[in-house]
Structure 1
Amino acid sequence: MPSYTVTVATGSQWFAGTDDYIYLSLVGSAGCSEKHLLDKPFYNDFERGAVDSYDVTVDEELGDIQLVKIEKRKYWLHDDWYLKYITLKTPFGDYIEFPCYRWIAGEGEIVLRDGRAKLACDDQIHILKQHRRKELETRQKQYRWMEWNPGFPLSIDAKCHKDLPRDIQFDSEKGVDFVLNYSKAIENLFINCFMHMFQSSWNDFADFEKIFVKISNTISERVMNHWQEDLMFGYQFLNGCNPVLIQRCTQLPEKLPVTMEMVECSLERQLTLQQEVEQGNIFIVDYELLDGIDANKTDPNTLQFLAAPICLLYKNLANKIVPIAIQLNQVPGDENPIFLPSDAKYDWLLAKIWVRSSDFHVHQTVTHLLRTHLVSEVFGIAMYRQLPAVHPIFKLLVAHVRFTIAINTKAREQLICEYGLFDKANATGGGGHVQMVQRAMQDLTYSSLCFPEAIKARGMDSAEDIPYYFYRDDGLLVWEAIKTFMAEVVGIYYKSDQVVAEDQELQNFVNDVYVYGMRGKKASASAQHAAVNFGQYDWCSWIPNAPPTMRAPPPTAKGMVTIEQIVATLPDRGRSCWHLGAVWALSQFQENELFLGMYPEEHFVERPVKEAMAQFRKNLDAVVRVIAERNKNKKLPYYYLSPDRIPNSVAI
Structure 2
Amino acid sequence: MSIDANRHKDLPRDIQFDTEKGVDFVLNYSKAIENLCVNQFMHMFQSSWSDFADFEKIFVRIKNTISEYVMKHWKEDFMFGYQFLNGCNPVVIKKCTKIPEKFPVTDEMVNVSLERQMTLEEEIEAGNIYIVDYEVLEGITANCTDPCTLQYIAAPMCLLYKNAQKKIMPIAIQLGQTPGEDNPIFLPTDAKYDWLLAKIWVRSADFQYHQNITHLLRSHLITEVFAIAMYRQLPAVHPVYKLLMPHIRFTIAINTKAREQLICECGIFDKANATGGGGHVQLIQKGVKSLTFRSLCFPDIIKARGLDNKEELPTYFYRDDGYMVWEATKSFVSDVVHIYYTSDETLQEDEEIQAFIKDVCSFGMQDFDHCEFPKSLKTREDLSEYLTAIVFTASAQHAAVNFGQLYLGSYPDEHFTEKPVKEAMERFRTQLVEISLSIKTRNEGKKLPYYNMSPDKIPNSVAV
Task: State the shift of 1:175 in Å.
Answer: 3.7
The equivalences for 1:619-634 within 5 A come to 619-634=431-446
The equivalences for 1:240-319 within 5 A come to 240-319=87-166
Q: Secondary structure at the match of 2:172?
A: strand
Q: Secondary structure at the match of 2:85?
A: helix
The equivalences for 1:554-633 within 5 A come to 589=404, 593-633=405-445
User: How many corresponding residue pairs?
Assistant: 440
Partners in 2 of 1:198 and 1:604 — Cα distance? 47
Structure 1, residues 259-292: CA drift from partner, whole Å, max 9, x if none?
1100000111111111111111110100000000
Partners in 2 of 1:492 and 1:312 — Cα distance? 48
Partners in 2 of 1:199 and 1:246 — Cα distance? 30
Aligned to 2:385: none
Say yes or no: does 1:528 pair with 2:340.
Answer: no
In 2, are the aligned partners of 1:444 and 1:518 still within 8 Å (CA)? Answer: no
Structure showing greater radius of gyration is 1
Partners in 2 of 1:204 and 1:306 — Cα distance? 20
Q: Which amino acid aligns with 2:438?
A: V
Task: State the shift of 1:211 in Å.
Answer: 3.5
Q: Percent same amino acid among aligned pairs?
A: 69
Q: Which amino acid aligns with 2:201?
A: W
Seen in structure 2, the aligned counterparts of structure 1 residues 302 and 184 have a Cα distance that, compared at 3 Å, is farther
Partners in 1 of 2:28 and 2:47 — Cα distance? 24
Partners in 1 of 2:203 and 2:437 — Cα distance? 32
Q: Secondary structure at the match of 1:596?
A: coil
Q: Which amino acid aligns with 1:176?
A: F
Say yes or no: does 1:424 pair with 2:271.
Answer: yes
Partners in 1 of 2:36 and 2:280 — Cα distance? 27
Aligned to 2:362: 515
Partners in 1 of 2:71 and 2:4 — Cα distance? 43
What is the aligned-residue RMSD (CA, Å)?
1.6
Task: State the shift of 1:645 in Å.
Answer: 0.5
Aligned to 1:543: none
Q: Secondary structure at the match of 1:533?
A: coil
Aligned to 1:346: 193
Quick check: which one's strand share is greater? 1
Say yes or no: does 1:637 pair with 2:449.
Answer: yes
Task: State the shift of 1:195 in Å.
Answer: 5.0
Residue from 292, 302, 305 that aligns with 1:455: 302
Q: Which amino acid aligns with 1:613?
A: M
Partners in 2 of 1:335 and 1:198 — Cα distance? 28
Partners in 1 of 2:194 and 2:38 — Cα distance? 31
Seen in structure 2, the aligned counterparts of structure 1 residues 326 and 195 have a Cα distance that, compared at 3 Å, is closer
Residue from 417, 439, 445 that aligns with 2:292: 445
Partners in 1 of 2:206 and 2:54 — Cα distance? 23
Q: Which amino acid aligns with 2:335?
A: E
Task: State the shift of 1:203 in Å.
Answer: 4.4
Partners in 2 of 1:196 and 1:370 — Cα distance? 28
In 1, are the aligned partners of 2:46 and 2:145 still within 8 Å (CA)? Answer: no
Partners in 1 of 2:306 and 2:63 — Cα distance? 35
Aligned to 2:378: none
Q: Which amino acid aligns with 2:247?
A: H
In 2, are the aligned partners of 1:170 and 1:403 still within 8 Å (CA)? Answer: yes
Aligned to 1:365: 212
Q: Which amino acid aligns with 1:624?
A: S
Q: Which amino acid aligns with 1:527?
A: A
Task: State the shift of 1:454 in Å.
Answer: 0.5
Seen in structure 2, the aligned counterparts of structure 1 residues 448 and 270 have a Cα distance that, compared at 3 Å, is same
Structure 1, residues 490-530: CA drift from partner, whole Å, max 9, x if none?
00011222211111100110011111232213442121000
Partners in 2 of 1:373 and 1:197 — Cα distance? 28
Gaps of 5+ in 2: 373-392
Aligned to 1:407: 254
In 2, are the aligned partners of 1:231 and 1:321 still within 8 Å (CA)? Answer: yes
Task: State the shift of 1:193 in Å.
Answer: 4.7
Task: State the shift of 1:181 in Å.
Answer: 5.9
Partners in 2 of 1:196 and 1:532 — Cα distance? 27
Partners in 2 of 1:391 and 1:197 — Cα distance? 51
TM-score, with normalisation over the residues of structure 2?
A: 0.92
Partners in 1 of 2:37 and 2:273 — Cα distance? 21
Partners in 2 of 1:617 and 1:466 — Cα distance? 29
Q: Secondary structure at the match of 1:323?
A: strand
TM-score, with normalisation over the residues of structure 1?
A: 0.66
Q: Secondary structure at the match of 2:235?
A: coil
Q: Secondary structure at the match of 2:355?
A: helix
Say yes or no: does 1:434 pair with 2:293.
Answer: no
Aligned to 1:165: 12
